[in-house]
Structure formats: C-alpha cells, structure tokens
Amino acid sequence: MSAKPRAALAALALSLGGCEGPQNMLDSSGPQADTIEGLWWVMLTVTSAVWFLVVAAMLVAIWRRRVRAEALELSGEPKPHRRERSLGIAVAASVGLTVAILFAFTIYSFVLERRVFAAPPKDALEIQVTGHQWWWQVRYVHKDPSKIVETANEIHIPVGQKVTVRLSSPDVIHSFWVPNLHGKRDLIPGQEAIFWIEADRPGSYRGQCAEFCGWQHAHMSFWVHAEEPEAFQAWLEQQRRPAPEPPDDLTRRGRDIFVTGPCAMCHAISGTTASARFGPDLTHLASRTTIAAGTLPNTRGHLAAWIADPQSYKPGNRMPPTFLPPADMQALLAYLETLR
C-alpha cells in the first residue's frame, strides 16, 4: 500500500477511535508495533479480498438466477442435478478456502506473537511500572539504590535501545498499552508481566490503561517520551538529583506548608522530610507535562484547582480536597513550580 492511502487510513482510524494525541497503532514507531501493524494490514487485505469475492459471487448468483428463470419460462424443462452438483462443489471449495485462511491466520499470528513477546535482553534498561487506581508509578531500576529514579505517569526511553518493562498491580487488573510502540499487556495482581519496548524515532507517544479498572479507568493515561540517548541520559541524571532548595521566602514557606500539611501524608519529595509512598512522587513534578494521570495539563491554574478539589475533575480518586487560605495556596504553588 502506498504512503498516502496508508496515512489516510491511519488518520481515519485515529479520528474514529477518539484518541487524544499521537496514539495510533497504524503509525508504528518501534519494531513490535511494526510487527503488529503488519499483521493488521495482512488481515485487512485478505478479509477485504474475501468480502469482495463474496459480494461478486452474490451478484453473479442473482444475475444467473434471473437469466435461468427467464429460460425456464420458455423451455419449461429444468436440469437441477447438474446445477446442484456445481453448487455443492462451489460451497465445499468456499468452506475449504475459509478454513485454510483461518488456519493461516492462526499460525501467522502465533509466530508473530512469539516474536513480539520474546524474552527481553539482559543488558536492557529496566523500569518497573505499577498500575494503581488510577495512576502509573514508574521506577528506573539500578544496582546502586542512590541512582534509582521514581516518577509518575511519564516514561522516558532512549531511541534505538531496548527497554525491559516489569508490570505489576497492587489492586485490580490494569492493561498497559502504547499503540505506537507495542500491544496490550495486562497487569494482574500477584503476578509480574515482563516484556520490552523500543522506539526507533524520537517522539511523545500516548498510552493508556486498556482494561476497565474502575470508575476513572478512562482517566488513567500516560506518556512515553522517546529521546536521543544523550538527551535521555541528561534527563535521567537530572531526575536523580534531590529537589532544589527554595530560592526565596515565598517558596520556603510553600515547602513548609507541604512537609507539615496533609500533602506529606501521601507524597514524597526527595531532599525533604516528606517520604510517603501512597501517591505519586513529586520530586520533579514541574518537569511533567500533565497531572492526574493525563487528566489535566500541568499548569499553575490546573494544579491549584486539582489541589483544592480533585474530586470535581476525577471523582472517586484517592486524593482528598485540600483547603488552604489563598496566601498559603500561592506559596505552595510557587514551591511546586520549582520542582524541576
């Protein structure tokens, strides 16, 4: 298929799916997604050809039925046995061809599945992704505990390198899906799923939970940012640093409000006394593009609204409203904006 029809079909599929952002399995950006896309195109081509053949056979049958009916009115002497024998042969051939196509699809998909979900290489970058109701915890594993990085709802990977992903869930079944990079992979409580992803070009790819996991299932998305190795390494080193010291009195007041208030009961910020693990780690919150697992853009106004009344944006989530005087809210926001 040429590039223009392929791009048109990809755009149509994206619009019909109602996805936000570049989330499209027909625009593969990695080897596994490319394999899955290839299977889709093969199945679309074969099934389309079968459909056209069936429609053509139906039209031919209608036309021949009309011609024979007119001939019988003239001769009055049908010859059913030969026609029935021909029809039987055609039906048997059609059934046999259908069975053969189904077997071919089964074998082809099995072989591709083995390739897509092959064991990850031992020397690959390793991350742990934990699905919670309703956000994603991401940890970059390292032998040195001081170099472990934790973030939330955003995954950064180097272009052209395989990344081992270890999936787990502490509550219900979730499903990790980045259509541009890989197929769906379930997170089942009590089990660990291991696979690998790879991006062959830089870009930001939207992912989501693809298994209904509760009230806010639709608001459980994340982003995978594929970067050049040098840019990824710089991001990783920056994430390993503790939160910067507040630069002025306003942000120092904001830090004190955070560590002595209800925020510290659920969240952690390295370099401070806040070390809770119930909610996302906020050490580098300001460097993220969204908050609330992709529900809102990470701007000052949205962050203030989320802190004040998260239930109005994501009903049923585990974060309670935080009531602060306006001056304290502004100080807290100023401090959170320094967390880059």
Statement to judge: residues 261 and 234 lie in one domain: no
Statement to judge: residues 26 and 75 lie in one domain: yes
Confidence of residue 70 (pLDDT cuts 50, 70, 90): low
DSSP letters, 181-242, are: T---EEE-TT--EEEEE--SS-EEEEEEE-S--STTGGG-EEEEEEE-HHHHHHHHHHHTSP
Rounded to an integer, what distance in angstroms lies between the CA atom of residue 83 and that of residue 92? 14
Q: How far is CA 207 from CA 25, 153, 226, 318, 337, in A?
A: 11, 9, 13, 22, 25
pLDDT at 2: 44
Q: Is residue 170 part of a domain?
A: yes
Statement to judge: residues 280 and 321 lie in one domain: yes
Confidence of residue 17 (pLDDT cuts 50, 70, 90): very low
Q: Is residue 70 part of a domain?
A: yes
CB 105 within 8 A of CB 97: no
Does residue 8 have a pLDDT over 80? no
Q: Which domain holds residue 153?
A: 125-239
Lowest-pLDDT range of 31-35, 135-139, 245-249, 281-285: 31-35
Rounded to an integer, what distance in angstroms lies between the CA atom of residue 190 and that of residue 171? 9
Q: Which of 91, 116, 141 is the last residue of a domain?
A: 116
Rounded to an integer, what distance in angstroms lies between the CA atom of residue 145 and that of residue 126? 14
Angle at 299 between CA 295 and CA 304, to 5 degrees: 85
263 vs 81 pLDDT, higher one: 263
Rounded to an integer, what distance in angstroms lies between the CA atom of residue 265 and that of residue 97? 64
Residue pLDDT, tens place only, 280-335: 999 999 999 999 999 999 999 999 999 999 999 999 999 999 999 999 999 999 99
Mean pLDDT, residues 62-90 taken together: 62
Q: Is residue 244 part of a domain?
A: no
Does residue 18 have a pLDDT over 50? no
Does residue 268 have a pLDDT over 90? yes
Q: CATH number of the domain at 308, please.
A: 2.60.40.420
What phi and psi values does residue 123 have, to the nearest 5 degrees?
Answer: -95, 10
SS3 175: strand
pTM above 0.85, yes or no: no
Tokens describing residue 329: 């809210």
Statement to judge: residues 228 and 267 lie in one domain: no
pLDDT at 19: 39
Q: Which of 239, 267, 297 is the last residue of a domain?
A: 239
pLDDT at 90: 75
pLDDT at 66: 65
Q: Which of 216, 239, 262 is the last residue of a domain?
A: 239
Give the pairing of strands 174-177 and 163-168: unpaired
What single DSSP character describes residue 320?
P
Looking at the structure of the chain, the number of domains it has is: 3
Q: How far is CA 104 from CA 42, 94, 137, 280, 286, in A?
A: 11, 15, 40, 46, 51
Confidence of residue 89 (pLDDT cuts 50, 70, 90): confident
Q: Is residue 90 part of a domain?
A: yes
259 vs 112 pLDDT, higher one: 259
